[in-house]
Structure 1
Amino acid sequence: MRQRVRWWSAGAGVAIVLAGLAVRSATDDGPPSTAAGASAPPSMSASVSSSPPSPPAVPACAGAVGRLSLGERAGQLLMVGTPVDRPRGLRAAVRRHHLGGVFLAGRSKRPAAALRADIAALQGDAAMPLLVALDQEGGSVQTLKGPDFPLIPSARRLGAGPKAVLRDTVRDNAGRLARVGVSVNLAPVADTVPAGLGEGNPPIGAFHREYGSDPGGVAEDVRTVVPASQGAGVLTILKHFPGLGRVRANTDTSTRAVDRTATVGDAYLEPFVAGIDAGSAGVMISSASYPRLDPEAIAAFSRPIVTGLLRDRFGYTGLIMSDDLGAAQAARAVPVGQRAVRFVRAGGDLVLTIRPQDAGPMTAALIAQARANPAFAARVDDAALHVLEAKQRAGLIRC
């Protein structure tokens, strides 16, 4: 029987032992910013030596993955939503499905102390510390408000102002989140909305979520946001790769979100490259369609986009998570469990669903596919490794 010792927290520290694994622990808008220039995607290079090749480095958390059961590994690949005003309702699912993370959904003006207590209760039910995430972008998309969480200007407004204001705003917000136990902010938005489209872009422009209409300017803002947030203790997730700024439908409410312009050399990819270069812990994959990148599947289910473009072409080695695959209309044609399987098979690591009832079908489908297919089982192990590495980077575990 696997030994499991409960982990505990004191202040900002967290400790756990798992089978010998040591763990520690507004919206006024100005004109969009403009900057010139677009950098090319980073290139991969290889060195040649006459000496025998050295053994490959073993990732720090690989041994930890090997000590998890298949069910535990599958559970680590899920981030499941729970109402921010009632997060303790997810406690049973955290225990039963070994969830990797929770997403605090909705809007709240609760005091920081109350939220901190609820997050601690969720963590107390987890054998492995949870990534705790929310949407705290600012403007219309701000989960936490009230006396302890001041209103944050929209990205469009911040992008039009001084970089120092952007940096200080993000840093202050991240510090407030870290103090209540939030370890991941699903931000920044790295999508560029063309000036001629603006609010005609339902998911981003309509809510002023973009930093600007020029990819070079957006890239500079993303370069500012990533270290400001992560330096204050909250991991960033670049979204929504490979870009939602040109679509004319919202993937949450429609199956017709299509970007027919995006290619592997698209200038609108520059902000994502900038965020990767800045060290963002994660990238979120959109659920829109990109026919010139993959005519067969939405981005979340596309191996050419997730693995071919993001992993191979851009050399990204961090955490890849999905946009919501629970309630979103863009994925409705696929059975719930298979949504998780298809995302992981495409190269994704962490499946986001805002519906708690999806945890069971998704974990069951991942386990069944891993048992039936050795290649998929290896993919599950690789995805779990990326999740654990993100937890280590958040200070939740030490491998």
Structure 2
Amino acid sequence: MKKWYLLVIAAVCLFAIGCVRQPEIHINGADKVKEGETIVLEVEVTGRKEEVSCESDDATVLTAAMLDGTTCLVSGVAAGMANVIFSVGDYSVTYRVTVEAKEQTDNGDDDDNDDDDDNGDDEALAYVNVVMDGMTLEEKIGQMFVVGFYGATIPTATRQNIQRCKFGNYIFMQYNTESPEALLELTTALQDGIRDLVGVPAFIAIDQEGGKIVKFISGATHFIGNMALAATGDAENAYLVGKAVGTELRNYGINVDFAPVLDVNNNPQNPIIGIRSYSDNPEVVAAFGGNMIRGLREAKVMATAKHFPGHGDTDVDTHYGLPRIPHAMERLNAVELYPYVEAIENGLDAIMTTHIIFEALDTEYPATLSHAVLTGLLREELGFEGLIVTDAMEMQAIVNNFGISEAAVLAISAGADILTFTESTTNSVTAYDAILNAVRGGRLTEERIDESVRRILLKKYEYGLFADCYPRENALTADLSAHAVLNAQLGEKSLTLAKGTFSGLDKTKSTLLISSLLTRYELEPGLSGDNNSFAFVAKTHLASMGYDVNYRVFSTNKYADILAAAQNYDQIVIAFDNPSGKQVDLIKVIYKFNADIVVISLDKPYDINLFPEIDNYICAYEYTPLAVATLIRYLNGEFTAKGVLPIALE
């Protein structure tokens, strides 16, 4: 009886198993894609309700990723054939895709390029429209934010605010990037989180300008800054730097660089731009900035030119005040706008706005909040079709004059696509709520939101983020030695002997090195306090080369001691960044009793005007590890300074 009962149960189970319907997976779409392009495959599953997944069986030929349960993105990597494997549970089917090499014309342009662009644009727009159809208003507004937070992991409050507001894009500061390993985990966690939440990959941005403004140091090359780069005299160098910087950023999953600075720095008293600008000549700025943008784009990192319409001619820092620029349009067109116009004509993808009032355009609102500037000038007159991103909305120029909520609505009304908040997400939530309420209350239309979100998603599609938004597998082991060599070469080419005949220290003479302290970052690993200074680092290296050398690090309370010590040395080298007060006085007093003095500018070259009596004046343009290492080699007579001043001195 018992055996009979078990046999019946077994038969029923076998019958039930046999009646389970096998799934059917239907794939609709093209079976060919070109290198560097993406196709969309529509996936339909019948017979099972389980989630479908896809993968490529050869990632060197193509990549495949599900956007949602019915859409797969296939991106061509290299010419060849590979399978996309679609799976539901233990059942799978393969779909063969051919990746075609891009045909080249004799001049290197893509064959039938215009037709390809049109087809690609149509495909991208169709894809983005499908994505947007599945998004709520709240999710769309979340795409219009770049938000920051403190630390190398996502704080609980930030995670909750992302969940609530669906913030779709992020910005890293140096406190987010101190460990390469942690950075990889952070970028991955952010992409996982927002893709699970909304189904759209994130822009992850950073200020990696080079020189004094870099936010990613450990695990990356600390590249030369803009004015130093322009001092090399060759704009092609900016392309090389852009390509290298972009490669390193994309390795870690960072896909947007808030650079380059296209401001024409024609005000020596500018407290915030200065050496972040390439030059006081609009054509030089356009040439170097345009090449930097080209290099970043080739590395699949979106450049964001800043600070439109121009932050070069002000003596007020927008972090703390609201500047006004009174120039007429004739002057703005000839100087401030020139580099932006050139970049726009060459396909610039994104522009960052400035919190400055341009009286010729709008006497009431700064550019970030001005419809006349963002829509009237930038969109309609200049024909810009890319993303308009605001500078940080927490700056006092905005907060003190308009408040977070009102400024957020004004910026979107003016034409901004993305609002930037670099600090905690508290202010971001305030701005988000203001925009959401403005739509619900009729002050903003949902069509206006859709305009920006469509532009944002199209750029994410264009930069391949829907197919591949994660860090590279070799990020931690990538060989950056070629980048280091390039950087050292550019440092040497940039060093400028602005005045004099100096070519190296005399080993037979005693030397005193005097400098200011650097607090922004380490000149060499492990340095702190007075040791993190040009004077200490140069003394250490030059002493090892056989020089009779000592050093002092300047502070006001050491003025008398340094002045007394200087009288005991044959030759003096003084290096300051932005000298003022007692520093200027020290140089002038020492020169009176010892004319064998070399002055080095570690920041703006305009400082030479403070010392008309000095015979030898060197411009390094920045206080960075690269500049210090270059100067040490120059003091040792290893090369001749051939840099050219990128600015005109009075």
TM-score (norm 2): 0.52
- Paired residue for 1:129, among 182, 192, 201? 201
Q: What's 1:360 paired with?
A: 429
Q: CA deviation at 1:105?
A: 2.2
For the pair 1:184 / 2:256, whether they are aligned, the reply is yes
Take 2:438 and 2:288, find their aligned partners in 1: how far apart are those partners? Answer: 41
For the pair 1:79 / 2:146, whether they are aligned, the reply is yes
Which letter maps to 2:404?
V
Unaligned regions of 5+ residues in structure 2, if any? 1-48, 76-120, 468-650
Structure 1 or 2, whichever has the larger Rg, is 2
Take 1:304 and 1:336, find their aligned partners in 2: how far apart are those partners? Answer: 21
Q: What's 1:259 paired with?
A: 325
SS of 2:325's partner is coil
- Paired residue for 2:239, among 167, 170, 176? 167
Query: Bigger CA drift: 11-20 or 178-187?
Result: 11-20
For the pair 1:149 / 2:220, whether they are aligned, the reply is yes
Higher relative contact order (CA 8 A, sep 6+): 1
Q: Any idea what the Cα deviations from partners look like across 1:5-36, whole Å, max 9, x if unmatched?
A: 899999996845247555678xxxxxxxxxxx
SS of 1:297's partner is coil
Unaligned regions of 5+ residues in structure 1, if any? 26-55
Take 1:368 and 1:7, find their aligned partners in 2: how far apart are those partners? Answer: 38
Take 2:390 and 2:286, find their aligned partners in 1: how far apart are those partners? Answer: 21
**Are the counterparts in 2 of residues 19 and 67 from structure 1 also a CA contact under 8 Å?**
no
Q: Any idea what the Cα deviations from partners look like across 1:10-67, whole Å, max 9, x if unmatched?
A: 9996845247555678xxxxxxxxxxxxxxxxxxxxxxxxxxxxxx979442342232
For the pair 1:17 / 2:67, whether they are aligned, the reply is yes
Q: CA deviation at 1:376?
A: 2.5
For the pair 1:310 / 2:378, whether they are aligned, the reply is yes
Alignment of 1:327-342 (within 5 A): 327-342=395-410
Q: Any idea what the Cα deviations from partners look like across 1:55-102, whole Å, max 9, x if unmatched?
A: x97944234223211101111111111236344553333322111210
Which letter maps to 1:268?
E
Alignment of 1:50-65 (within 5 A): 59-60=125-126, 61-65=128-132
**Are the counterparts in 1 of residues 250 and 300 from structure 2 also a CA contact under 8 Å?**
yes
Take 2:397 and 2:180, find their aligned partners in 1: how far apart are those partners? Answer: 33
Query: Bigger CA drift: 370-379 or 285-294?
Result: 370-379
SS of 2:351's partner is strand
Take 2:69 and 2:410, find their aligned partners in 1: how far apart are those partners? Answer: 31
Q: What's 2:308 paired with?
A: 241
Which letter maps to 1:122?
L
**Are the counterparts in 1 of residues 398 and 407 from structure 2 also a CA contact under 8 Å?**
no
In structure 2, do the counterparts of structure 1 residues 338 and 163 end up closer, same or farther at CA, with 3 Å as the change threshold?
A: same
Q: What's 2:288 paired with?
A: 221
**Are the counterparts in 2 of residues 183 and 235 from structure 1 also a CA contact under 8 Å?**
yes
- Paired residue for 2:448, among 364, 379, 385? 379
In structure 2, do the counterparts of structure 1 residues 19 and 320 end up closer, same or farther at CA, with 3 Å as the change threshold?
A: farther
Q: What's 2:589 paired with?
A: none
**Are the counterparts in 2 of residues 88 and 122 from structure 1 also a CA contact under 8 Å?**
no
SS of 1:323's partner is strand
Q: How many positions carry a matched residue from both structures?
A: 358
**Are the counterparts in 1 of residues 413 and 444 from structure 2 also a CA contact under 8 Å?**
no
In structure 2, do the counterparts of structure 1 residues 351 and 6 end up closer, same or farther at CA, with 3 Å as the change threshold?
A: farther
TM-score (norm 1): 0.82
Q: What's 2:542 paired with?
A: none
Q: What's 2:136 paired with?
A: 69
**Are the counterparts in 2 of residues 170 and 229 from structure 1 also a CA contact under 8 Å?**
yes
Q: Any idea what the Cα deviations from partners look like across 1:269-314, whole Å, max 9, x if unmatched?
A: 1111122122221001111111111112111110000000000001
Take 1:21 and 1:79, find their aligned partners in 2: how far apart are those partners? Answer: 26
In structure 2, do the counterparts of structure 1 residues 165 and 7 end up closer, same or farther at CA, with 3 Å as the change threshold?
A: farther
CA RMSD in angstroms comes to: 2.8
Query: Bigger CA drift: 246-255 or 325-334?
Result: 325-334
In structure 2, do the counterparts of structure 1 residues 88 and 171 end up closer, same or farther at CA, with 3 Å as the change threshold?
A: farther
Take 2:451 and 2:284, find their aligned partners in 1: how far apart are those partners? Answer: 34
SS of 2:388's partner is strand
Q: CA deviation at 1:160?
A: 1.8
Query: Bigger CA drift: 366-375 or 345-354?
Result: 366-375
**Are the counterparts in 1 of residues 239 and 293 from structure 2 also a CA contact under 8 Å?**
no
Query: Bigger CA drift: 81-90 or 113-122?
Result: 81-90
Take 1:343 and 1:6, find their aligned partners in 2: how far apart are those partners? Answer: 41
Q: CA deviation at 1:129?
A: 1.1
In structure 2, do the counterparts of structure 1 residues 22 and 324 end up closer, same or farther at CA, with 3 Å as the change threshold?
A: farther
**Are the counterparts in 2 of residues 203 and 250 from structure 1 also a CA contact under 8 Å?**
yes
Query: Bigger CA drift: 374-383 or 231-240?
Result: 374-383
Which letter maps to 1:233?
K
